[in-house]
Amino acid sequence: MICRIAQLQYKEVINIADGTRYGFVGDVELDPERGSIESIVVYGRPRLFGLLGRQEDSVFPWSAVKRFGEDIILVDGGVRARRER
């Protein structure tokens, strides 16, 4: 299956271990020197319709990605929080 980076935003990230649904891919971190994907980012959910900001973003290193499906990405742990945008 071939997937473009632009198509990743339509895929939901789900944890294999406990079935936690993190949300949809919002961004991808790339290493331009090696030409590889370093991690995928799921933006935090808005608090009170976005008036109180957002929760922290979830960042999954590429090594945590286990499977790609038509509309989901399965990950196995490895989540780290990130505040900056």
Q: Which structural domain range is residue 32 located in?
A: 5-82
Residue 42's domain is classified under what CATH number?
2.30.30.240
Torsions phi, psi for 80 (to 5 deg): -135, 145
pLDDT in tens, 1-54: 777 888 888 999 999 988 999 999 999 999 999 989 999 999 988 888 767 887
Distance linking the first and last C-alpha atoms of the chain: 30
- Assessment of whether the complete model's pTM goes beyond 0.75: yes
Look at strands 36-42 and 65-68 and give their pairing.
unpaired
The total number of structural domains that make up the chain:
1
pLDDT in tens, 42-67: 998 888 876 788 788 899 999 999 99
